[in-house]
Amino acid sequence: MKGLYFQQSSTDEEITFVFQERENLPVTEDNFVKLQVKACALSQINTKLLAEMKMKKDLFPVGREIAGIVLDGILPLDSEDPGLCEVVRVHEHYLVHKPEKVTWTEAAGSIRDGVRAYTALHYLSHVSPGKSVLIMDGASAFGTIAIQLAHHRGAKVISTACSLEDKQCLERFRPPIARVIDVSNGKVHVAESCLEETGGLGVDIVLDAGVRLYSKDDEPAVKLQLLPHKHDIITLLGVGGHWVTTEENLQLDPPDSHCLFLKGATLAFLNDEVWNLSNVQQGKYLCILKDVMEKLSTGVFRPQLDEPIPLYEAKVSMEVVQKHQGRKKQVVQF
């Protein structure tokens, strides 16, 4: 039985994905189950986080968002079994039931982005009816789920589009997005657009997709076009607002911090792995997983999935995912 793994070069820059034969699964222990995998979604591997958690290995398993018989769930960060394998062994505390109406690919392809959206909008920024929310890069697989959750909670959504195709995708949302800001040409000022849309009050919640930290001379031109500067985010944030960032190396100067202080604003870092790093959060984590599945079943979430791919194409597809290429979620179907 083969599984997909990745190995990193000594320079920590180049990643190679390889199929490896696996030994037979050990006898199932208490609270562990064997799961026949039906679908596994592909997500980028955060090698830096693995290094900081001292979890680097010669071969690290690939694929953690899985759906199958008997159950469905996300494999923990320290799992030794790759999700891209026919059968895996997993602790029951990381699993929730899949509703009958939800397909295998929908379950696997939505659960990670669903957890991220819940973490950002519910636990970090406390979204509620009437709040205004700016979701950067809303046409991404994660962005679409975040927009749907914000709409479901009664929030007013503003989003940015990185291309004409993304803009058209966002304009088709129902209920409609309050404003779609096209940043593909680099000429539109995000802060001005948000302040205009909110009558100068600023937005209540910002969920970024990365920010620009330095001046135009210090960063690549392509990145400059798509990402707002950190000062733009601070400017468009309203009084008592919440800024949820995915920028793990965010640096704020004293004037930036002082401006956030004057607004009474909060800054939170979105790291969806925190649910697996402490058993204290296990109950909340399982509630999120269950609610994501229920919202898939009732049609609240409609994931943006690419066509399912067979296992033998997983290696090539994972290389594309790791390089941030492709917009829709890639899911391997068994």
| Burial annotation 189-218 (CB, 10 A radius, 16+ → b, else e) | ebbebbbebbeeebbbbbbbbbbbeeeeee
Integer CA distances (angstroms), 236 to 189, 211, 294, in order:
11, 14, 34
From the list 322, 328, 314, the residue with the least C-alpha distance to 20 is 314
For the stretch 274-314, pLDDT in tens is 887 777 777 888 888 889 999 999 988 888 888 888 888 88
Is 319 in the same domain as 205?
no
CATH of the domain at 320: 3.90.180.10
User: Range of 96's domain?
Assistant: 2-110+278-333
Count of structural domains, the chain: 2
Q: What are phi and psi of 74, to 5 degrees?
A: -110, 125
Residue 2: its pLDDT value, please? 75
Q: Would you say residue 221 lies in a domain?
A: yes
Is 162 in the same domain as 294?
no
Query: What ranges in the chain are assigned the alpha helix state H?
Result: 47-52, 104-118, 141-152, 164-171, 190-197, 221-226, 230-236, 254-263, 274-277, 282-298, 314-322
Residue 54: its pLDDT value, please? 65
Could you give the maximum distance between any two Cα atoms of the chain, in Å?
63
Question: Considering the entire predicted model, what is its pTM?
Answer: 0.85
Taking the C-alpha atoms of residue 329 and residue 132, their distance in angstroms, rounded to an integer, is 27
Taking the C-alpha atoms of residue 249 and residue 198, their distance in angstroms, rounded to an integer, is 29
User: Which of 30-34, 221-225, 237-241, 246-250 has the largest mean confidence?
Assistant: 237-241
Q: Would you say residue 120 lies in a domain?
A: no
Query: What ranges in 6-54 are assigned the alpha helix state H?
Result: 47-52
For the stretch 100-136, pLDDT in tens is 888 889 988 998 899 999 999 999 999 999 999 999 9
Is 164 in the same domain as 248?
yes
